Amino acid sequence: MTNPLLSDWTGPFGLPPFDAIRDEDFGPAFDTALDEARAAIAAIADDPAEPSFANTIAALELAEENLERVAGVFFNLAGSDSNAAREALQRDLAPKLSAFSSEVTMNKALFTRIETLWQARSDLDLTEEEARVLELYRRMFVRAGAQLDGAEAERLKEIKSRLAVLSTEFTQNLLADERDWARALTGDELEGLPDFVVGSLRAAAEERGQDGHVLTLARSVVSPFLQFSPRRDLREIAHKAWAARGANGGATDNRAIAAEILALREERAKLLGYADFASFKLEPEMAKTPGAVRDLLMRVWKPARAKAEADAAALEEMLREDGINGPLEPWDWRYYAEKRRKVLHDLDEAALKPYLPLDGMIAAAFDVANRLFGLEFRPLDGPLYHPDARAWEVTRKGRHMAVFIGDYFARGSKRSGAWCSAFRSQRKLGAEVRPVVVNVCNFAKGDPALLSWDDARTLFHEFGHALHQILSDVTHPFISGTSVARDFVELPSQLYEHWLEVPEVLDRHARHWKTGEAMPADLRDRLLAAATYDQGFATVEYLGSALVDLAFHTGPAPADPMARQAEVLGEIGMPRAIGMRHATPHFAHVFAGDGYSAGYYSYMWSEVMDADAFAAFEEAEDPFHPEIAEKLERYILSAGGSREAEELYTAFRGRMPGVEPLLKGRGLLDVA
């Protein structure tokens, strides 16, 4: 029988045949696809013809097509719907894929061809995009160690392979810790909780096949519990369990893994001639150097901490009023901040949720994309990989643009957080290929599912990433969609969040799930007025993580990351009642892969630009200004990595931004 992963995908829009794929198909499909890719790479490297862009770079672009197809399906499923078989295969694949990628980048004959083209680039009559892709290929090879020989080359290969194994273990340990912890709650332990929190605790129990109500470590369950439970003892239990993920001792403990990863990264950077891993990692980013990153983070840190300290004093006052002595603790912050929000802004998260049904917010995200970019969305039937996932066809003026998949609900088989990825990316090389994009979130299930304001922002955020793929219009897959500098990639997503706060978007789409009535204007205005509420906390918990990440990768790797983490937090004066948004043992951004290592700062770097970019629409006094939207698509959303990020931004806005719009957007200017 033919392997469905390797057969032609003849279903609508070439979607993977999800209903035909069985877990046991993945292993053999990977083996075959790897063999094919090896043969294709060898044919390019050993081609007797003189190197040309077409027979080298363009050929490389298409050499791993089946491998990319199989990996696209597998890694999406491994993240959003894992099981024991998929986890085992993931562990098995990590070193195999790493070895293959090392083979390619260490292939001397291949690198010689690329280097020959690079040296002759001005005589090759390349298009602007081809020149850019050639430059990026050469940079990728050099940074992967193509210029190393002998023992050094061998050692680099070992390091990469070991890192791949460690990051898979890190992820799986975290998933296990999040899945394994649960606490059944008795009736009196539910007292004082709003209905939607009780509902999500019931749904969490159901998902585990249990009766009653169960507190779990899914963010969509534990976070509202910490916000609303008047039971300080239970909040402490929940917060400690949440904070201990990856640090529970035993087989799933991530601390030693983190230390080994940091040491190997430093060794890798040194082999390649860099002072430390941060210098290596930041070189191709907009930031360029660890110093530039630290400058930005510290400029924001000071006003953010001042704001958080002032807020902490106010919250501690409320703690006293409840008759509790002793300091404000991390498990108190969300609870008292929620109470204070009601006092200051007369805004109750529970009163808001009925106006934020999931389907209404999906419709809002689609409608904004329609008004800005003319995109249309039509529900698509057909089997997907999980019953909770839904698909839409995206078109513009009748032309097929993409398939968009939304997989919104939390479940035990899904890793935490929210993300956007692609089963297939856009390209024109060879043949025109349109993308298949997926947004994965962890919203609490409900009937109907009602979002928090934070959830709604997350939905818009991930949809902004999706648009970066859907609107992509480049020739080469290497620079398609979100294949841009790490500190630029959050610009489209964070920029899109701004449209959720446009009053007419809320008026049209934030409608009561039962009555269909629009959110009352005074509730809407109070919601928008409260937009900067508790931003001291949010900024501090984020910056704590970003500064620890940067410190881990600057200078020698710490032998004891937990001690180094404590040292960094001490140096910056982290407020005691605020934890890091992600502490080391569960800092998946940094340890579950290489993506955001020495790169967690990227969100703030991008925010400097998104605040400034949305200001372009505000200055025009039209959030849907057609010419600005057209520029946004032309220079940013369709352009992928076809030019340096700084050039793209400057083309859109006419200049680079300063940090002020960000401080203003977070309400931190008044205390700065």
Identify which of residues 330 and 492 has a Cβ nearer to Zn ion in the complex.
Answer: 492
Identify which of residues 224 and 492 has a Cβ nearer to Zn ion in the complex.
Answer: 492
- Residue 287 DSSP label: S
Residue 406 φ/ψ, nearest 5 degrees: -115, 125
Identify which of residues 30 and 488 has a Cβ nearer to Zn ion in the complex.
Answer: 488
Query: Do the Cβ atoms of 442 and 417 come closer than 8 Å?
Result: yes
The span of 32-40, 88-96, 360-368, 483-491 binding Zn ion (CB under 5 A) equals 483-491
Q: Which distant-in-sequence residues (6+ apart) come within 8 Å of 591 by Cβ?
A: 166, 167, 170, 254, 257, 258, 261, 584, 597
Identify which of residues 257 and 422 has a Cβ nearer to Zn ion in the complex.
Answer: 422
- Which residue carries 């976070």 as its tokens? 223
The span of 192-200, 366-374, 488-496, 626-634 binding Zn ion (CB under 5 A) equals 488-496
135 flagged as catalytic: no
Minimum distance from CB of 437 to Zn ion (Å)?
Answer: 13
Q: What is the largest CA-CA distance in the chain?
A: 83
421 near Zn ion, judged by CB under 5 A: no
Q: Which of 47, 3, 8 is nearest to 29 (CA)?
A: 3
Minimum distance from CB of 291 to Zn ion (Å)?
Answer: 25
**Interface with Zn ion in residues 508-527 (CB under 5 A):** none
Q: 434-473 mask for Zn ion (x: CB under 5 A)?
A: ----------------------------------------
Minimum distance from CB of 417 to Zn ion (Å)?
Answer: 10
Minimum distance from CB of 484 to Zn ion (Å)?
Answer: 12
| Pairing of the two strands 436-443 and 399-409 | parallel
Q: Give the length of the chain.
A: 672
The residue of the chain with the least Cβ separation from Zn ion equals 493
The span of 212-220, 310-318, 348-356, 486-494 binding Zn ion (CB under 5 A) equals 486-494
Minimum distance from CB of 287 to Zn ion (Å)?
Answer: 17
| d(C-alpha 9, C-alpha 24), whole Å | 18
Identify which of residues 425 and 493 has a Cβ nearer to Zn ion in the complex.
Answer: 493
Phi-psi region of 426 (alpha: psi -120 to 50; beta: other; left: phi over 0): beta
**Among 64, 349, 462, 497, the one annotated catalytic:** 462
- What is the 3-state secondary structure of 327-393? CCCHHHHHHHHHHHHHHHHCCCHHHHHHHCEHHHHHHHHHHHHHHHHCCEEEEECCCCCCCCCEEEE
493 near Zn ion, judged by CB under 5 A: yes
Long-range contacts of 388-393 (CB under 8 A, 24+ apart): 389/80, 389/438, 391/15, 392/366, 393/13
Identify which of residues 374 and 593 has a Cβ nearer to Zn ion in the complex.
Answer: 593
The span of 259-267, 325-333, 490-498, 582-590 binding Zn ion (CB under 5 A) equals 490-498
Strand partners, 392: 379, 404
Minimum distance from CB of 255 to Zn ion (Å)?
Answer: 27
The span of 40-48, 327-335, 482-490, 578-586 binding Zn ion (CB under 5 A) equals 482-490
Residue 391 φ/ψ, nearest 5 degrees: -130, 150
Task: Provide the annotated active-site residues.
Answer: 462
Give the residues lining the site for Zn ion (CB under 5 A): 490, 493
